[in-house]
Amino acid sequence: MLDPAAFASEPAPGRDCGTCTLCCKVYDVPALEKPAGTWCRHCVPGRGCGIHETRPQHCRSFHCLWMTQGWLGPEWKPERSKLVLSVDPATRFMFVQVDPGAPAAWKRDPFYRQIKQWAAAGFAERRHVVVFLNKSATVVLPDRDVVLGVLGPGDRIVARERRTQAGLTYDVEKVAA
């Protein structure tokens, strides 16, 4: 069972970014006015951060799930999968941030199959899985994927239960700030 409450926040034994630098591309870094989906001007691809000692707090505190969760296999390493996984601390949604250089990476197996399994595992507790391509969000539900489009600052994802003849499902929408 996927339980973000039990997730470690520090790197798992033996885990190291190595040559991966994908989080320096896929996320925005407000302190550097760096938009999501473009390489940080301080990144040395394949090597790491060029301003390691003075990098913003935003960067210091971040470890992707591949780094902290030893049970994620080598195929999930972001430089290989082209996917950076994290858990939103407020909602406990799982975020899958896709490399815009490989926008369909999350649709490939084994990734898509596993993402669907996580969506099903978190469904009852409303811990949804959200795939981001830059700022554009798609909520993955067990039975379908819901494209919400660009999420602005403060926009929220709201899911409501709905009973159908086939059982319980959710309607998902973006609520503006």
Indicate whether 63 belongs to the interface with ligand SF4 (CB under 6 A): yes
Sequence-distant (6+) residues with CB within 8 A of 59 are 24, 29, 49
Q: Which of residues 17-36 bind ligand SF4 (CB under 6 A)?
A: 17, 20-24, 29
Q: Residue 110, preceding bond cis, omega within 30 degrees?
A: yes
Q: How far is residue 34 from each of residues 31, 136, 174, measured CA to CA in Å? A: 8, 16, 24
Stretch in the footprint of ligand SF4 (CB under 6 A) among 13-21, 125-133, 139-147, 151-159: 13-21
The values of phi and psi at residue 96, to 5°, are -115, 105
Shortest Å distance, C-beta 80 to ligand SF4: 10
Q: Name which position in 69, 76, 78, 131 contacts ligand SF4 (CB under 6 A).
A: 78
Indicate whether 64 belongs to the interface with ligand SF4 (CB under 6 A): yes
Query: CA 73 to CA 75: how far, in whole Å?
Result: 5
Query: CA 63 to CA 83: how far, in whole Å?
Result: 13
Q: Name which position in 8, 51, 150, 158 contacts ligand SF4 (CB under 6 A).
A: 51
Where does this chain bind ligand SF4 (CB under 6 A)?
Answer: 17, 20-24, 29, 40, 42-43, 49, 51, 55-56, 59, 63-64, 66-67, 78, 84
